[in-house]
Amino acid sequence: MATYSLVQLFGWLILANIPLVWCLPVKERGGYKILSGATWTGSSTSVVDGTASGTPTTARPSQATAPASALQPTNTQTCNLYVEFCNRRYSDITYVGAHNSPFTGENNLAVNQNSDVKAQLNDGIRMLQGQTHRVNQTIYYCHTRCDLLNAGTLEDYLKTVAEWLRDNPFEVVTILIGNGSFLNVGNYKVPLEKSGLAELAYVPEKQSIKIDQWPTLSEMILMGKRAVVFMDYKADEDAIPYILDEFKYMWETPFSPTDENFPCTIDRPSDQPKNDTQGKLYMANHNLNTKLSIFGKSVLLPNTDNLNQTNGVSGFGSLGLMADNCRANWNRYPNFLLVDFYDIPDGSVFEVAARANNVTYSSRQKGPHGIYWTIVPALRPPVLAKLKLRTRNDLLWPAVQPKDGPPAL
């Protein structure tokens, strides 16, 4: 990755019409730090893989060296809710995913979540999955069929996600689009662009990158590319580079599981060579289903009777046990833990992810409410001079950042 001087970074922000307060540097022990990066002395500012006070460093923080007399400030800025994640590759983190994220509501057996997508993101969900279908030339999120559960248009849903990302500039979110109608990928370009998500979408330097070639969260944050968009079927990265072909990058455990043992074996793609698994991300499908007949068709619906067990930290059928079994089978934890009703029991799925990530879980880190930010007087515009510590939800962030198989149940 290229290095950036302070002048280059601030110049880029100005050209992109982004207020400097967007960086939200944190003052620590005589210096300032933006996210993470090299060590420094005096009152300089550090940027990821950048330069400070005329002392160049292209090494990542884990590789950087400094004189014994240099100050060693500790980064307090979180990335995806944890300071430890800032310097981790996107591919070296376990994320909690909301299975069928759009399908919420009451009095419908087909719902998979209790809260809408904004609440899901606020609570710490960082992977959003859902199945789409086309009706009258418009793409909707529908559960198997639109007369069973229609959750609204893809464009409206993604607009909410894009707005949330702009309100939370240190978060990276993954979106997995289920192409239930097997549409040509070109049909998805307009809703992604009109929603504003396309301009936030990450495009790899080359197609089919391996797990050791993904950028760190800090790098993605500084690039302004904080949405990773996958599609299960009919993706074409030559046509739309920011919609990634899911199975070129990841594989999945058994799909729409009805087996409480939740075997951590390869299910999709069915032709996945076993010796190719270590080079890819992988997703654990941990949403227990029950088969019912609706409108004369067999449909899999979420098993809500066993949620405390299914989403539990330990015990038979639990998410925690599946995560551990996956690690035993593949020498690493899953990248994505896809669950129904993530909030039952409260916080358990996030505790499992924290354990997989080797970070300390606390209920306060379940979501961004209450995470505080420091605005440094030397860099903030005068209009913000009276702001002190505020919650993330209270701050006004810029609206502009630098500029589409079987049905999934």
Domain regions of the chain by residue span? 1-78+371-403, 83-366
Under a CB-based contact definition with an 8 Å cutoff, are residues 284 and 298 in contact? no
Determine the pLDDT at residue 49: 34
DSSP assigned state of 201: B
- The span from the CA of 160 to the CA of 169, in Å, is 14
Say yes or no to pLDDT of 395 above 50. Answer: no
Say yes or no to pLDDT of 23 above 50. Answer: no
Determine the pLDDT at residue 341: 98
Determine the pLDDT at residue 380: 29
- The span from the CA of 379 to the CA of 381, in Å, is 7
Q: Give the pairing of strands 138-142 and 297-302.
A: unpaired
> In this structure, which amino acid lies at residue 278?
Q
E-only strand ranges, 311-351: 336-339
Exposure on the CB side of residue 33, measured as CA atoms within 13 A: 23
Task: Tell me the sheet residues that pair with 297.
Answer: 294
- The span from the CA of 141 to the CA of 136, in Å, is 13
- The span from the CA of 75 to the CA of 100, in Å, is 35
Determine the pLDDT at residue 293: 79
Banded model confidence at residue 253, pLDDT cuts 50, 70, 90: very high
Banded model confidence at residue 366, pLDDT cuts 50, 70, 90: low
- Radius of gyration (Cα) for the chain, nearest Å? 22
- The span from the CA of 402 to the CA of 204, in Å, is 17
288-305 mean pLDDT? 84
Determine the pLDDT at residue 299: 78
206-214 mean pLDDT? 97
Of the candidates 362, 327, 389, 376, the one whose C-alpha atom is nearest the C-alpha of residue 124 is 362
Active site residue 369: no
Determine the pLDDT at residue 367: 54
Active site residue 133: no
- The span from the CA of 362 to the CA of 375, in Å, is 25
Banded model confidence at residue 123, pLDDT cuts 50, 70, 90: very high
Instruction: Give the active site residue among 99, 133, 286, 369.
Output: 99
Three-state secondary structure call for residue 158:
helix
Structure tokens at 292: 């019912």
Instruction: Give the active site residue among 133, 143, 286, 369.
Output: 143
- Which of the pair, 135 or 59, is modelled with greater confidence? 135
Nearest 10 degrees: Cα torsion 342, 289, 255, 124: 0
Determine the pLDDT at residue 17: 43
- Which of the pair, 208 or 388, is modelled with greater confidence? 208
Banded model confidence at residue 69, pLDDT cuts 50, 70, 90: very low
Determine the pLDDT at residue 300: 82
Say yes or no to pLDDT of 402 above 50. Answer: no
Under a CB-based contact definition with an 8 Å cutoff, are residues 112 and 157 in contact? no
Structure tokens at 245: 């072909």
Structure tokens at 50: 């950048």
- Its sign, for the CA torsion 145, 256, 229, 268, is negative
In percent, the amount of the chain with pLDDT more than 70 equals: 70
Q: Give the pairing of strands 95-98 and 127-135.
A: parallel
Banded model confidence at residue 76, pLDDT cuts 50, 70, 90: confident
- What's the topology of domain 83-366? TIM Barrel (3.20.20)
Determine the pLDDT at residue 365: 58
Tell me which H or E stretch contains 358.
none
C-alpha dist (Å) from residue 365 to 2, 78, 252, 396: 32, 10, 27, 22
Structure tokens at 41: 């002395």
Tell me which H or E stretch contains 21.
none
Three-state secondary structure call for residue 249:
helix
